């Protein structure tokens, strides 16, 4: 799990030039921002609602803002950040469409990372076990999961087309079969990728 | 009338030659600052933490260093050995406001030229002047850069003003339950309080020190203000419509009108307690300075004021605070963010209204202590948060 996270941070980090201004929506414990601040010299802020998460960020010295991301629109000026990141959070946002619109309004570019519910294991689980998609860590059940939006890579691409959102870059990540490693893949991604990262703008 | 101060204080006097210039342009002196310190200043002098009290507070931020433990500190919840603001690690300074009545020069002090208390002859002063006086104390203590400056309510306004006027004087700042200017509603409430004092027959144009003090007026001022410190829910939960059965508490008026609600009894108690420790003239001057304060000077944009800030800053609000609401602090947070400043904002869940910042609150404690802890990233400027 830790390796997985680090891999995601590395991929996101590659897309963000040094000294950019970054806003991380749903920053959690601030690990991504910590990575970006120490490795890329970015400035920026994290946003989260949970006080526990905020305390973790504060301990790391990361500037963090307590806000409820369900209260849209966000109270920030147009294009006030170079990058607005929404990593592993879109599936928890009720007003997901408005959220993506807001990301592209306040950010010059947006970076979205989300679990691909088109991933074959998820499909098998639904098809053969007859169980709703469940994340591996932590193993939420249908009644307590924060994940209320299930989307696949294909779904997201359709959405971007309909909304005239430009996809600057797309990265698909899967776990390699034999080693506990994660790698980028290029083919049959909607089926094979566990995670997708999109760099978008409008 | 204000009692003698029951704890031991230190005093610093300057401007005996009236060299100190107020924002009004008036020269004033001598000025004495009554203050207390808790903990030890280290050799590098980089562990000093300035705590700024609120409107009617005093220098007695913690009672841990009292020999008899007789007077509770107003921030015992947060300050002390092993607490969020750890006095075993930090040298904590807390000074009574310029214009106050708990050890510092104010309207109740004796004017050396006349041998009489200043009363309303005390010069008009501003929040900026109050900060300047604190700055002189910090200079006097030989501290060039404070580790952290922290204040709640009016104290938070002083923290903002410090950052605006002396941005190089602190590494970190914490602003709690405050605003960059008072809302119209808050000004209106304090105006009622001031009017109550002015209407007291004993006020005598501020010259009451030789006779009866305007205690009724001051008590009413406190009662009004106290309502603004509580939330509708907390006052409801605490008192509801309960009746005070104690006849002694009641008075003629209540004999006439009917029984006394607990909330009435409580407010009267707050009023009575307050006149024992506070001076009516100080209350007039300080509330006016607070109402007049505006970080933007009414001239510049808030974001332009924010541009001057250099410290790593933490802004804390409480969800049920309507005296200085979360929305008001949010304006400051936004302005600082727009200027790409290192600002952190926490809106703490609490039902107790504006007074929340003075109460035991686990979230407040852990947010403050994690902010003060050594940072792993070292902050934006590498020299920030040097090891102490």
Model confidence at A130, in pLDDT bands (50, 70, 90)? confident
The nearest alpha carbon in chain A to B314 belongs to A63
Q: Dihedral of the CA atoms B298, B302, B303, B307 (nearest 10)?
A: 80
A interface with B, Cβ–Cβ < 8 A, is 21, 34, 37-38, 43, 45, 51, 54-55, 57-67, 75-77, 80
Ordered alpha helix ranges (H), chain A = 2-15, 31-40, 51-60, 96-106, 120-124, 153-162, 189-192
Contacts B326 to A, Cβ<8 Å: none
**Nearest-neighbour CA in chain B from A75: distance (Å):** 8
| Chain A contact present for B365, CB below 8 A | no
Model confidence at A137, in pLDDT bands (50, 70, 90)? low
Distance CA B108, CA B285 (A): 11
The nearest alpha carbon in chain B to A19 belongs to B380
The nearest alpha carbon in chain A to B317 belongs to A66
Question: Which residue did the predictor score with more confidence, A94 or B295?
Answer: B295
The average confidence (pLDDT) of chain A is: 89
Residue whose pair of structure tokens reads 């410090």 in the numeric block: B162
The C-alpha angle with vertex B176 and arms to B276 and A56, in degrees rounded to 5, equals: 140
* Domain B186-289 of CATH type 1.10.1740.110: yes
For the complex shown, is ipTM > 0.95? no
| Chain A contact present for B381, CB below 8 A | no
**Is A58's CB within 8 Å of B367's CB?**
yes
End-to-end CA distance of chain A: 33
**Is B347's CB within 8 Å of A80's CB?**
no
**Nearest-neighbour CA in chain B from A175: distance (Å):** 31
Model confidence at A136, in pLDDT bands (50, 70, 90)? low
Quick one: fold of A2-201?
A: Rossmann fold (3.40.50)
**Is B337's CB within 8 Å of A45's CB?**
yes
**Nearest-neighbour CA in chain A from B333: distance (Å):** 9
pLDDT tens digits, B309-334: 999 999 999 999 999 999 999 999 99
In the predicted model, residues of chain B with pLDDT beneath 50 are: 1, 381-386
Residue among B314, B340, B370 minimizing CB distance to A59: B370
At a CB cut-off of 8 Å and minimum separation 6, what does A42 contact?
A16, A18, A19, A20, A21, A22, A33, A36
| Chain A contact present for B377, CB below 8 A | yes
> Could you tell me the CA-to-CA distances from B308 to B134, B166, B296, B364 in Å, in that order?
19, 9, 11, 27
**Is B345's CB within 8 Å of A64's CB?**
yes
Q: Provide the pLDDT for residue B385.
A: 45
Distance CA B182, CA A201 (A): 40
**Is A54's CB within 8 Å of B367's CB?**
yes
**Which of A65, A77, A107 best probes binding to B when mutated, by most B CB atoms within 10 angstroms?**
A65
CA B248 to the chain's CA centroid: 34
CA B123 to the chain's CA centroid: 20
Q: Provide the pLDDT for residue B148.
A: 98
Distance CA B45, CA B356 (A): 32
According to CATH, what is the number of the domain B10-182+294-372?
3.40.50.1820
Contacts B330 to A, Cβ<8 Å: 75
Q: Dihedral of the CA atoms B311, B12, B155, B295 (nearest 10)?
A: -60
**Is B344's CB within 8 Å of A58's CB?**
yes
Looking at the annotation, which residues of B are catalytic? 153, 321, 354
**Is A63's CB within 8 Å of B370's CB?**
no
**Is A58's CB within 8 Å of B379's CB?**
no
The pair of three-digit structure tokens given for residue B121, joined into one six-digit string: 């002859």
Residue among B334, B340, B371 minimizing CB distance to A21: B340
Q: Provide the pLDDT for residue B384.
A: 44
The nearest alpha carbon in chain A to B342 belongs to A63
Residue A167 has pLDDT above 60, yes or no: yes
**Is B334's CB within 8 Å of A76's CB?**
yes
**Is A51's CB within 8 Å of B337's CB?**
no
Residue among A37, A60, A66 minimizing CB distance to B346: A66
Residue among B347, B367, B380 minimizing CB distance to A55: B367
Count helices and strands (H / E) in chain B: 11, 16
């Amino acid at each position: 799990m830790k390796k997985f996270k680090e891999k995601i941070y590395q991929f996101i980090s590659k897309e963000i030039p040094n000294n950019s201004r970054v806003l991380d929506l749903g920053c959690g414990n601030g690990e991504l921002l910590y990575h970006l601040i120490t490795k890329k010299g970015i400035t920026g802020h994290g946003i989260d609602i949970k006080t526990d998460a905020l305390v973790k960020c504060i301990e790391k010295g990361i500037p963090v803002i307590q806000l409820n991301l369900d209260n849209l629109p966000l109270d920030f000026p147009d294009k006030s950040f170079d990058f607005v990141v929404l990593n592993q959070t879109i599936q928890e946002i009720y007003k997901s469409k408005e959220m993506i619109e807001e990301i592209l309004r306040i950010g010059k570019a947006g970076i979205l990372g989300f679990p691909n519910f088109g991933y074959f294991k998820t499909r098998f689980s639904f098809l053969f076990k007859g169980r709703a998609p469940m994340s591996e860590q932590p193993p939420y059940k249908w009644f307590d999961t924060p994940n209320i939006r299930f989307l696949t890579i294909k779904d997201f691409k359709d959405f971007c087309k309909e909304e005239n959102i430009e996809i600057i870059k797309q990265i698909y990540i899967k776990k390699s079969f034999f080693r506990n490693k994660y790698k980028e893949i290029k083919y049959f991604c909607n089926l094979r990728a566990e995670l997708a990262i999109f760099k978008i703008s409008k | 009338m204000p009692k003698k101060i029951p704890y031991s204080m230190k005093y610093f006097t300057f401007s005996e030659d009236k060299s100190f210039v107020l924002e009004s342009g008036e020269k004033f002196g001598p000025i004495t600052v009554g203050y207390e310190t808790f903990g030890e200043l280290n050799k590098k002098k980089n562990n000093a933490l300035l705590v700024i009290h609120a409107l009617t507070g005093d220098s007695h931020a913690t009672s841990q260093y009292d020999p008899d433990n007789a007077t509770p500190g107003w921030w015992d919840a947060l300050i002390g050995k092993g607490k969020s603001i750890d006095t075993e690690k930090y040298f904590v300074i807390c000074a009574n406001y310029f214009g106050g009545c708990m050890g510092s020069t104010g309207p109740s002090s004796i004017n050396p030229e006349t041998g009489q208390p200043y009363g309303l002859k005390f010069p008009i002063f501003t929040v900026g002047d109050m900060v300047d006086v604190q700055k002189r104390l910090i200079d006097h203590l030989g501290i060039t850069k404070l580790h952290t400056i922290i204040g709640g309510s009016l104290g938070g306004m002083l923290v903002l003003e410090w950052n605006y006027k002396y941005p190089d004087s602190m590494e970190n700042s914490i602003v709690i339950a405050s605003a960059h200017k008072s809302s119209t509603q808050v000004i209106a409430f304090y105006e009622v309080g001031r009017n109550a004092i002015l209407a007291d027959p004993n006020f005598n144009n501020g010259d009451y020190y030789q006779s009866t003090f305007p205690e009724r007026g001051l008590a009413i001022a406190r009662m009004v203000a106290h309502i603004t410190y509580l939330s509708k829910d907390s006052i409801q939960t605490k008192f509801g419509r309960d009746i005070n059965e104690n006849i002694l508490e009641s008075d003629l008026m209540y004999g006439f009108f009917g029984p006394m609600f607990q909330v009435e009894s409580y407010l009267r108690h707050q009023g009575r307690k307050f006149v024992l420790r506070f001076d009516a003239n100080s209350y007039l001057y300080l509330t006016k300075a607070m109402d007049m304060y505006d970080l933007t000077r009414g001239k510049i944009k808030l974001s332009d004021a924010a541009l001057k800030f250099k410290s790593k800053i933490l802004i804390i609000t409480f969800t049920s605070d309507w005296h200085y609401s979360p929305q008001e602090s949010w304006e400051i947070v936004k302005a600082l963010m727009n200027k790409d400043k290192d600002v952190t904002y926490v809106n703490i869940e609490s039902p107790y209204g504006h007074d929340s910042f003075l109460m035991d609150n686990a979230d407040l404690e852990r947010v403050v202590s994690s902010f003060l802890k050594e940072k792993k990233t070292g902050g934006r400027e590498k020299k920030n948060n040097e090891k102490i």
